[in-house]
Chain A
């Protein structure tokens, strides 16, 4: 006799419910209780949850049917989604694999000078360049050069793609209030969704052996700041200057290229910096779905309780993060022409 029997009787739904004898599988708790010989005694006033209602009326679904329904729905949609998404995202796999191969096969005595040169030309700061050189050397010293390069190559590809898509999306959002209103909730969702949660549907859609799986996870997570800050940057451009551009007869393209983008550049660069940082954060988590790099060692440290391995890899990630952050911040400062010293 379940608690809600009376409710269904008074509502006259007994007929619709069918026989109370439910043939639904037992829950684990019930099974345990039964095997231990004790009769399960319901709470005095159980919450009217699906499972509790189901006990009185088999016409009502159980909670497990909800999760099962979602899963089935997803599986049903999978072939269609896969047919569309697979070919579109395939280049991402190629790019990631290509970059991994390129970073791995380039010998260190060529790669390190290239990275140092990039840091120099981006930042024009001696301190930053020396820091980059020292960090790479230090990681190489403890034999973490290869994994660090794997992580770097993934970040390189994912950040580039995020910027290539994020900046135009941000520009489009800044031009249309309606687009902005419809995109912002989606961006909020991407930013608030716990990072593990994106991985679940992605694992279903793509096979874990494909690089694009973690590529997509990283890009979805990292593209948000560059979109937001491009939109914000363009919207914050001095109205007086825009008016001047209009008054001298600039067309929309000239206005964008000559006024809005240059003046929004500091904000866009701040977005790029955030995007780099977030892809680094995600690349560690993505090691759960076979992303190579330093994250794998961190994961090993957790799984096998290899404290030293985990911590060394963790320090490597920190060094990489500081390198990327300092170089991109120094580059940001350099492009900020609105801040010319007197």
Chain B
């Protein structure tokens, strides 16, 4: 297996004056509320171990207060961890000098913010070119790169506008163009689309996926929206109270939630749209095959294909080769979320 692009090991963050002193309580199993009540410190992150692979979109999902924004800020040390190890491209971020850290922020990691955080007194062109001008590149280079990426995110013609003159969605496109101009391998996206309205958000998600197909960046994406997480994620990390509850391939999490918290989470989404044929199929066996379906199609597509008839069995193919088969009855069963244990307690 390849060395992951980003590796976090045993990462703890406790907010407060004496974070290091109360660390052993947390390591001894004290929870967030108890720590706050007894010691007046806030638990930010609790023993985070995550690998983020190159070229993948790792989505970190959690509700507000779960520590997801804290987590992403540890990668470029906008927040200092209490203890722990952060390795980016084989280099220990914690060991970097001030200059080294600044260089890493300039050349390895770019960031997209929830509230866009553009410079209001600069034009769109200068905003997008900012990462390069910070590195001391001449104006012509900055403008050329900025123009290229602004064009790529669909903002050509707006170069001389100011951020306040654009809509939220367009401002975030500038934010993405700015991160792309930095031309870093890693992109950190902190709830990048959360402030946008649903239609624009879908647009932006598609834009991101399209860009990713072409650029193969390592993207770390923070969101509180499970639909967004499932749409974008190659690797999904679910946080609760600063700790990782479950991580893995999103389809796997959906089909096998390991925790009542996640069961609750996944019970509300449209499974037919999110689940892929690949995740539900079984091994090839003797059967009456009604047709063929691609492994990456959603269950919804297959239901449409079968016209709602649950008596069929389809052959699952990938690049023309048969890799399994799917019984429509299994499909229907997969659509029913596993009963949440907390719900059963309530009953």
Contacts and interface: CB of A to CB of B under 8 A. Distances in A.
A200 B131 CA distance: 55
Contacts of B107: 249
B76 A258 contact: no
B134 A240 contact: no
Point out which of A247, A250, A259, A263 has the most chain B C-beta atoms below 10 A from its C-beta. A247
B120 interface: yes
Given A248-B106, A248-B110, A263-B120, A338 B164 contact: yes
Contacts of A341: 165
Interface string A259-270: 100110100000
A335 to B, nearest CB: 9
Given A247-B76, A342-B165, A337 B102 contact: no
A248 B120 contact: no
A238 B120 CA distance: 10
Interface string B111-139: 10101111111000000001100110000
B162 A340 contact: yes
A249 B131 CA distance: 8
A248 B109 CA distance: 8
B78 A246 contact: yes
Given A342-B164, A342-B165, A248 B105 contact: yes
Chain B interface extent, by class? 20 to 34
A316 B119 CA distance: 43
Given A247-B78, A249-B134, A259 B119 contact: yes
B182 interface: yes
B178 to A, nearest CB: 8
Contacts of A243: 78, 113, 117
A263 B117 CA distance: 12
B20 interface: no
A249 B102 contact: yes
A337 B121 contact: yes
Given A248-B111, A248-B182, A342-B165, A241 B121 contact: no
Contacts of A337: 120-121, 162
Point out which of A241, A262, A339 has the most chain B C-beta atoms below 10 A from its C-beta. A241
Nearest to A244: B117
Contacts of B76: 247
A254 interface: yes
A265 B120 CA distance: 12
Interface in A311-342: 337-342
A244 B175 CA distance: 10
A251 interface: yes
Given A241-B119, A243-B113, A337-B121, A248 B164 contact: no
Nearest to B99: A251
Interface string B83-117: 00000000000000000001111110111010111
Nearest to A238: B117
Contacts of B135: 249
A338 B134 CA distance: 21
Contact of A240 (B110, B115, B121, B165): B115
B78 A248 contact: no
Contacts of A249: 102-107, 131, 134-135
Nearest to A239: B117
Point out which of A249, A254, A265, A338 has the most chain B C-beta atoms below 10 A from its C-beta. A249
Point out which of B105, B111, B117, B165 has the most chain A C-beta atoms below 10 A from its C-beta. B117
B102 to A, nearest CB: 4
A248 B130 contact: yes
Given A240-B117, A243-B117, A248 B131 contact: yes
Contacts of B134: 248-250, 254
A340 B110 contact: no
Contact of B121 (A244, A247, A338): A338
A250 B182 CA distance: 13
A254 to B, nearest CB: 6
Nearest to A240: B117
A267 to B, nearest CB: 13
A259 to B, nearest CB: 7
A241 B103 CA distance: 19
Contacts of A262: 119, 121
A266 B184 CA distance: 34
Nearest to A337: B121
Contacts of A251: 102
A342 B130 CA distance: 23
A241 to B, nearest CB: 5
B316 to A, nearest CB: 43
A258 B102 CA distance: 16
A340 B105 contact: no
Nearest to A258: B119
Nearest to A241: B117
Contacts of B162: 337, 340
Interface in A104-121: none
B164 A340 contact: yes
B165 A244 contact: no
A337 B119 CA distance: 10
Nearest to A336: B121
Interface in B178-197: 178, 182, 188
A259 B127 CA distance: 11
A244 B102 CA distance: 13
A146 to B, nearest CB: 41
A340 B105 CA distance: 30
Contacts of B78: 243, 246-247
Contacts of B130: 248
7 contacts: A241-B118, A247-B105, A248-B130, A248-B131, A249-B102, A250-B134, A262-B121
Interface of B: 76, 78, 102-107, 109-111, 113, 115-121, 130-131, 134-135, 162, 164-165, 178, 182, 188
Interface of A: 238, 240-241, 243-244, 246-251, 254, 258-259, 262-263, 265, 337-342
8 shortest interchain CB distances as A-B pairs = A249-B106, A249-B105, A244-B117, A337-B121, A247-B111, A240-B117, A249-B102, A340-B162
Given A244-B118, A247-B78, 5 more contacts: A247-B76, A247-B110, A248-B110, A262-B121, A340-B165
